[in-house]
Structure 1
Amino acid sequence: MLTLDERSVRQLKGVSALKEGELHAFGIHTISDLLNYFPFRYEDYCVRELAEVKSGEKATIMGIVRGAPIMQRYGRAKSRLTCKIESGGMLITAVWFNRTYMQEQLRPGREIMLTGKWEQHRLQITVADSEFPDSAKASKTDSLQPVYHVGGNITQAWIRKMIAAALTQYGPMIEEVLPYELMERYGFMSRSEAVEVIHHPGDASRGQEARRRMVYEELFLFQLRLQAYRGLHRGRGDGVAQPIGSETIREFAATLPFALTDAQKKVINEILTDMRRNYAMNRLLQGDVGSGKTVVAAIALYGAVRVGHQGALMVPTEILAEQHAKSLARLYEGTGIQVGLLTGSLTERKRRDLLAGLQMGLIDVVVGTHALIQDDVFFRSLSLVVTDEQHRFGVNQRSVLRRKGINPDVLTMTATPIPRTLAITAFGDMDVSTIKEMPKGRKPIKTYWVKHDAFDRVLGFIRKEAAAGRQAYVICPLIEESEKLDVQNAIDTYMQIQQSCPDLTIGLLHGRLSTAEKDETMSRFAANDSQVLVATTVVEVGVDVPNATLIIIMDAERFGLSQLHQLRGRVGRGEHQSHCILIADPKSETGRERMKVMTETNDGFEVARRDLELRGPGDFFGTKQSGLPEFRIADMVADYETLEQAREDAGELTERDDFWSNESYARLWEILRREGLFQGEQLD
């Protein structure tokens, strides 16, 4: 017998070939898809007593028609219909606009259900929807009505009718997927009952219970796939076991020009523990701007080299690659470790020499851009791959570098602090290490929010910092004039600052410059040959300039919170007090909230948490590369506790010896097989 996943929606009476095509646009192909097409909200038609309704609220009430309806016509085809209704011992006025057909139905003594906005001072309800309980078409009386995402020729009424028909015909075939032990532990209703109740909740409390069960199921199955994948691959033992000695690491750490923080020591231990095992590490290292992630990566790479292997560090820009290569060379001075730099701008001869050095094992650690993943790059023994700012690389780019070794360990770094909720969802197949502690002695950046009319005062601040020998960034959201967006642009701002500060050297950096021009501009700023750098967000992940103590962000309301925090992190890297000035006249409440958050905290994790609340998870990394699953019913922000519980439960289950042999988990094996878990594809 065919399962609901195998039955086409065409098997439902009323679904034509045309309608089937339109349903496909909503991702509905099978009966199972239709039953799992959940409403995103409900219209509340649950009847309330008028005395309970506050003025201005939308509510549903019952009443009796007590007067003859009065019709007023005005304009072209516009009308206003009023009628006296008795409800809750009061005589009120019901008002319909442009519903002439209601006039003949409003017969005195007839019971009516009204949904609309109640105005206490007028004793009037402006009707949005109405229904007569004695009508054969009555469907909403005292209920919550589901509201679905619809479009084209798919209407609310039609999709409700099709789902109701599917529930009647196929509801008994809905199979349970959660193991009995989890059903018992959390007191869940059955799957068939939950699906029925979500579409037809009857009352709010039953609807919440059904949603609780289905949210858990969705998050549990998602986490089960990730955890089972990790369990299977760990079981293969096909990684490189790297027996890195703790004493070796302690000796190297003692040569560093600074003391490691407790947070750095903790994550180093987590990483080294993974590297010593015989399965491939897949770990996310997240930490705020300036928290010392690069040093952690340097220690991990050092460990890999000391046991006879090679390491690679891939970064998004050439200038960042150069910066990291220089930093690593300084840290490894006197150790004999050879650091190479591979970027697209190397001369042919230098590139040939470097590739030969990698293949023969003469170069221990290579730092590079996407040039690292070209076909002619070979390693003698690559055992550790580190990627920095991973969301700037596509999935394919990261996996190509991974294939340059034999299942090397992978450490992914990001300076975009990610709330734990989002980290365990977007990177559910990774272990997550977090550095929350900042190095001692680092001064918090002072952040101010000013309006555009204060720009002259801001220019005075730039001159003051420059006179003290320091430098400033000025960040703009657009490159040149746009008719659509009334925002200050980089070119105009560059010219304005040049006129106001003729004694200063000003640089201009934006995305339309060539790579060579960008590098030249940035290098001049790093060398203090220019005192002010006017730029678009290409500096969000850029070179380390400890002498830069001021960053000014124009039209700051146009940036997301996490991006503002990243930009702020360009300063505060030296011994002098740094400042961030946000210039904004936000019209929206969200824009004002962003400015408020930025001036209240320097903590990137708190900023990220508030950003997730304001923007929602889908936009957190940007839509193109978010890597986030599209959940049917779960919400990562609202359901974070359920997400964490589901992850814990899935991990506990997949680690049990009998998970792959106990028949009570057969339905879960089937789901995992259907999703291709055993076909060897890499989750990345």
Structure 2
Amino acid sequence: MSIHLFQISLTQLQGVGPQKAEELHALGISTVGDLIEYYPFRYEDYRVREMHEIKDGERITIQGTIASLPTMQRFGGKTRLICRVTVESMLVTAVWFNRAFLKEQLTPGREITLTGKWEQRRRQMTVADSEFPDKGGAKTGTLQPVYSVGGSLTQASIRKMINQALIQFGALIPEILPAELLEKHALLPRRSAITRIHRPENTLEGQEARRRMVYEELFLFQLKLQAYRATHMKQADGLVHPVNNEEIRQFVSRLPFELTGSQKQVINEILHDMKQPYVMNRLLQGDVGSGKTVVAAVGLYATVKAGHQGALMVPTEILAEQHTRSLGAMFEPYGIQVGLLTGSLTERKRRDLIASLQMGLLDIVVGTHALIQEDVYFRSLGLVITDEQHRFGVNQRSILRRKGMNPDVLTMTATPIPRTLAITVFGDMDVSTLRERPKGRKPIKTYSVKHNMMDRVLGFIRKEAEQGRQTFFICPLIEESEKLDVQNAIDLHMQLTHALPELAIGLLHGRMNAAEKEATMATYAAGETNVLVSTTVIEVGVDVPNATLMIVMDADRFGLSQLHQLRGRVGRGEHQSFCILIADPKSENGQERMKAMTDTDDGFEISRRDLEIRGPGEFFGTKQSGMPEFRLANLVNDFEVLEQARDDAAALTASESFWSSQSYKELRDNLNRDAKQQTEPLD
């Protein structure tokens, strides 16, 4: 919107004094521009309905003639006004609460319009609003906007102020979008859309106005991201990796398994970026068990062969140790040295490893956030890979990247992100997706049960153990909490030890030191422990192919994506695997999550449902940078518009004319001044 409207004080509006302006400030409205862009979140429908269309429990508007004198009832200082009204050929009972002043106006034979909740069985309406046509009936037949209000502000007062703002300053509303986009998407002009969103004549008009403003909101946001990409991300200041395709083919051909089509495509995308003179900034997302580690290994192999070093940062020591073992085995035949850097290394080992990195004797280092400590230096860092990127803050990731001269960056996540969020939050990144399972992987059978079925669950554990298979048993807390009535790991370990004396039961939780955790996991991985009782410390990446049963206690206490991550710890071998979710059937959100988990094991579908249940902010958690708050757009429902807006913004910022033509001046000015939806590009 024009800068002029955002410079106009609220007190310049007729009828708005300092007190009203203060109340508007509390809603985040500081200027006339803010007020005009303060959109309704729904509409109250005052359009008159015919009786045959009406369903029980609906909020409706009907019109009729008063048929009897009203009666008044008093109870506890409150009043109940009852009157019969003839609507079409039906006699309807109208009931008002605490509207005693209306009694004198309810005269038989007078026309009246009633809005309220309809009770079919009693042919009765609890009236929320009523008007008399002989007095004008301003609301009758209209859609009235409903806004978020607070303090002494009422719907009537904010409607009046917005209406006044449109009358006084509506002519100053400029067009921001270029004519070709308005034509391409058949969008209303901006002034018309803003006016209609506040004062729609009918539902279709309101929908068209909203469609225009949602597109604009998403387009302007995407324009910021795409402009950032155009001016920062594709500058020719990155490392050029001279990738030898024949060497890559040989490396892949010697792997003990065949790559999926999806893995091959993603590897091509990554290697293509690594060959370019600009910095790669790519997100690799894939479902649990989709084979991201192998893709990362090919990238690391390519950077070492090009004469550089690679770094892989992961959130836990368990995962770091696992990756070091698997990468070490892959690279050993090629003489590529892989090191492990975690907080639990002895001082001497740490010093030796850092010296090897600095001198270039170590090709690849895998580590936790210990990698970003000040005294860690590389001879030539060419590729930075962050696994489970959402576990690290923006600053942590950027510190690691700055340890090289513009190294290529690959961030990986096993929490599949709905496409809309990937486009929104990671708009400054290229996104690669692994969708296929490696060959031979069987879908995991998932069941939701109540706590009283524990005996059957124990029987299932015994059955799997008799066949030589292992069980993960997960619970939310380490020890008792007064706030949450949940099973804890220490108690559960004791109970299972008593209930299953013939089995070896292990215990793993976050308060154990690194050596204890490593020993526990090594024992379990070797098959010496039948059941591992654990907190969610094993959520990410732990690979035990012989584990076929995942049991989650108090599953309704976990988020949907987290449950899917836990389920992904089994199903990694040749045997059929199972996931049993023990949940409270009375938990409403829990029921929704359990249904989603038992309906599908597709991580992308799971994440879509998680987004619907929790919303974008909760989906990423409070630490996630870059999650904008939109006034109108809904990332679940408006995904098609978001994709259109992203494509349009990318095409526009890639053209020379956008940066120089007068016809795009308003958009360029908007990029520079509108910090309201500014997102910090990740890294």
Query: TM-score normalized by structure 1?
Result: 0.94
Deviations 1:231-272 (A, max 9, x none): 122452111121212112111112211111111110000011
Is the CA contact 1:620–1:626 (under 8 Å) kept in the aligned structure 2?
no
Question: Could you tell me the percent identity over the aligned residues?
Answer: 68
Q: Structure 2 matches for 1:6-45, cutoff 5 A?
A: 6-13=7-14, 15=16, 17=18, 19-45=20-46
Runs of 5+ in structure 2 lacking a partner? none
Aligned-partner SS, 2:333: coil
Q: Structure 2 matches for 1:140-179, cutoff 5 A?
A: 140-179=139-178
Q: Structure 2 matches for 1:94-109, cutoff 5 A?
A: 94-109=94-109
Q: CA deviation at 1:413?
A: 0.5
Is the CA contact 1:67–1:85 (under 8 Å) kept in the aligned structure 2?
yes
Equivalent in the alignment of 1:252: 251
Measured in 1, the distance between the counterparts of 2:153 and 2:182 equals 35
Residue correspondences, number = 681
Aligned structure 1 segments of 4 or more residues deviating by more than 6 angstroms: none
Is the CA contact 2:262–2:436 (under 8 Å) kept in the aligned structure 1?
yes
Aligned-partner SS, 2:7: coil
Measured in 1, the distance between the counterparts of 2:351 and 2:513 equals 24
Is the CA contact 1:85–1:91 (under 8 Å) kept in the aligned structure 2?
yes
Deviations 1:601-630 (A, max 9, x none): 222222222333333333222344274211
Q: Tell me, yes or no, if structure 1 residue 666 matches structure 2 residue 665.
A: yes
Is the CA contact 1:545–1:571 (under 8 Å) kept in the aligned structure 2?
yes
Q: CA deviation at 1:676?
A: 7.3
Q: Structure 2 matches for 1:540-551, cutoff 5 A?
A: 540-551=539-550
Equivalent in the alignment of 1:576: 575
* 2:635 partner letter: M
Q: Structure 2 matches for 1:193-212, cutoff 5 A?
A: 193-212=192-211
Is the CA contact 1:51–1:88 (under 8 Å) kept in the aligned structure 2?
no
Measured in 2, the distance between the counterparts of 1:374 and 1:586 equals 47
Equivalent in the alignment of 1:56: 57
Deviations 1:309-346 (A, max 9, x none): 11111100111111111111111012121112111111
Deviations 1:127-149 (A, max 9, x none): 1222234447x542221121122
Q: Structure 2 matches for 1:410-449, cutoff 5 A?
A: 410-449=409-448
* Pair 1:515–1:329, CA change in 2 (3 A): closer
Q: CA deviation at 1:474?
A: 1.0
Is the CA contact 1:619–1:626 (under 8 Å) kept in the aligned structure 2?
no
Equivalent in the alignment of 1:186: 185
Q: CA deviation at 1:201?
A: 1.5
Aligned-partner SS, 2:105: coil
* Pair 1:348–1:564, CA change in 2 (3 A): same
Q: Structure 2 matches for 1:209-248, cutoff 5 A?
A: 209-248=208-247
Equivalent in the alignment of 1:473: 472
Measured in 1, the distance between the counterparts of 2:305 and 2:484 equals 55
Is the CA contact 1:219–1:646 (under 8 Å) kept in the aligned structure 2?
yes
Equivalent in the alignment of 1:553: 552
Aligned-partner SS, 1:42: strand
Equivalent in the alignment of 1:297: 296
Measured in 2, the distance between the counterparts of 1:483 and 1:378 equals 46
* Pair 1:668–1:245, CA change in 2 (3 A): same
Aligned-partner SS, 2:611: helix
Equivalent in the alignment of 1:89: 89
Equivalent in the alignment of 1:71: 72
* 1:126 partner letter: T
Aligned-partner SS, 2:127: strand
Q: CA deviation at 1:539?
A: 1.7
Measured in 1, the distance between the counterparts of 2:141 and 2:607 equals 42
Measured in 2, the distance between the counterparts of 1:623 and 1:96 equals 45
Measured in 2, the distance between the counterparts of 1:129 and 1:113 equals 8
Q: Structure 2 matches for 1:490-509, cutoff 5 A?
A: 490-509=489-508
Q: CA deviation at 1:356?
A: 1.7
Q: CA deviation at 1:520?
A: 4.3
Equivalent in the alignment of 2:407: 408
Aligned-partner SS, 2:379: coil
Aligned-partner SS, 1:375: coil
Runs of 5+ in structure 1 lacking a partner? none
Equivalent in the alignment of 1:310: 309
Measured in 1, the distance between the counterparts of 2:522 and 2:27 equals 50
Measured in 2, the distance between the counterparts of 1:108 and 1:503 equals 85
Aligned-partner SS, 2:339: strand
* Bigger mean CA deviation after superposition, 393-402 or 441-450: 441-450
Measured in 2, the distance between the counterparts of 1:31 and 1:481 equals 54
* 1:48 partner letter: R
Measured in 1, the distance between the counterparts of 2:636 and 2:680 equals 29
* Pair 1:312–1:14, CA change in 2 (3 A): farther
* 1:258 partner letter: F
Measured in 1, the distance between the counterparts of 2:480 and 2:101 equals 54
* Bigger mean CA deviation after superposition, 194-203 or 597-606: 597-606
Aligned-partner SS, 1:632: coil
Measured in 1, the distance between the counterparts of 2:509 and 2:598 equals 27
Query: TM-score normalized by structure 2?
Result: 0.94
Equivalent in the alignment of 2:615: 616
* Bigger mean CA deviation after superposition, 473-482 or 177-186: 473-482
Measured in 2, the distance between the counterparts of 1:495 and 1:191 equals 66
Measured in 2, the distance between the counterparts of 1:7 and 1:517 equals 65
* 2:10 partner letter: V
* Bigger mean CA deviation after superposition, 606-615 or 578-587: 606-615
Deviations 1:465-492 (A, max 9, x none): 2333332111123334445544333333
Measured in 2, the distance between the counterparts of 1:432 and 1:616 equals 21
Q: CA deviation at 1:368?
A: 0.9
Equivalent in the alignment of 2:326: 327
Aligned-partner SS, 2:212: helix
* Pair 1:330–1:656, CA change in 2 (3 A): same
Measured in 1, the distance between the counterparts of 2:680 and 2:83 equals 66
